[in-house]
Amino acid sequence: MPKKPAAKSPRRPAPKTDNGKARAWQRMLSGRRLDLLDPSPLDIEIEDIAHGLARVARWNGQTRGAHIFSVAQHILLVDVMARARIPRLDNKIRLAIFLHDAAEYVIGDMISPFKAVIGDSYKATESRLLAAIHLRFGLPPKSSAETERIIKEADRAAAYLEATRLAGFEAREAQRFFGKPPAITAVTERDYLTPWPAETAESRYLERFAKLLP
């Protein structure tokens, strides 16, 4: 006799709030509760951002080393690459650099191929969060075209280095995706391209961020 098809597991319903709606907020260790659909700057704390980013892996965790290469460490590397290109970089632009991936403390770091699969919904959520984060720390909701250009160039330079030193890319392949190899000193490479423990990434992110505030 033919076997009966296995019964499907019942789908678990989305968590509900008291009013019966699906939960769309994230509770932070600070006690804040951040609504992903309507994020408020008042619910954003830099300590929560640093804690989260230090524990979110770049490259989906597919990197060499005893620790993940975290988004927090990536942001510090992007700051280094930007200042190598523009030594007297304005602190407001550096603050925007420090926050350019900050939404990932809530939604994680999705690799580019997966972002392409899910389409605009990820981008819309990311944009809402980033606007609220900017307002919380005194920046306009959206960065200027010039600031975005500076961030993108430094971000691509950091991505090239991460790809070739940590994520197994060949130089030619990395150049196709991220542009030509950036210059980097041996000291900077040893420090910023050796994955740090989460506690180190968190504390170094907070320390440098504090120096950028007025």
Cβ pair 135, 43 in contact under 8 A = no
Q: How confident is the model at residue 121 (pLDDT cuts 50, 70, 90)?
A: confident
Kindly tell me if the per-residue pLDDT of 114 is higher than 80: no
Average pLDDT over residues 190-198: 98
Kindly tell me if the per-residue pLDDT of 38 is higher than 60: yes
Kindly tell me if the per-residue pLDDT of 17 is higher than 80: no
**For position 18, what pLDDT does the model report?**
53
Average pLDDT over residues 100-106: 95
**For position 124, what pLDDT does the model report?**
87
Cβ pair 53, 72 in contact under 8 A = yes
Q: What are the pLDDT digits (tens) for 43-77?
A: 999 999 999 999 999 999 999 999 999 999 999 99
Kindly tell me if the per-residue pLDDT of 181 is higher than 50: yes
Average pLDDT over residues 37-42: 94
Give the DSSP letter of residue 34.
Answer: E
Give the 3-state secondary structure of 76-126. Answer: HHHHHHHHHHCCCCCHHHHHHHHHCCCCHHHHCCCCHHHHHHHCHHHHHHH
Distance CA 193, CA 42 (A): 34
User: Which residue's structure tokens are 């944009």?
Assistant: 127
Q: How confident is the model at residue 116 (pLDDT cuts 50, 70, 90)?
A: low
**For position 10, what pLDDT does the model report?**
42
**For position 213, what pLDDT does the model report?**
86
Distance CA 77, CA 157 (A): 9
**For position 117, what pLDDT does the model report?**
63
Residue 58: is it exposed, middle or buried by C-beta count within 10 angstroms (0-12/13-18/19+)?
buried
Complete DSSP assignment for 160-203: HHHHHHTS---HHHHHHHH-SPPP--HHHHHHHTSPPPHHHHHH
Average pLDDT over residues 32-42: 94
**Residues 7, 9, 15, CA angle at the centre, nearest 5°?**
160
User: Which of 24-28, 86-90, 172-176 has the lowest average pLDDT?
Assistant: 24-28
- Percentage with pLDDT > 70 across the chain: 86
Cβ pair 26, 48 in contact under 8 A = no
Q: Whole-model pTM?
A: 0.86
Cβ pair 38, 44 in contact under 8 A = no
Cβ pair 71, 82 in contact under 8 A = no
Kindly tell me if the per-residue pLDDT of 206 is higher than 50: yes
State the average pLDDT for the chain: 89
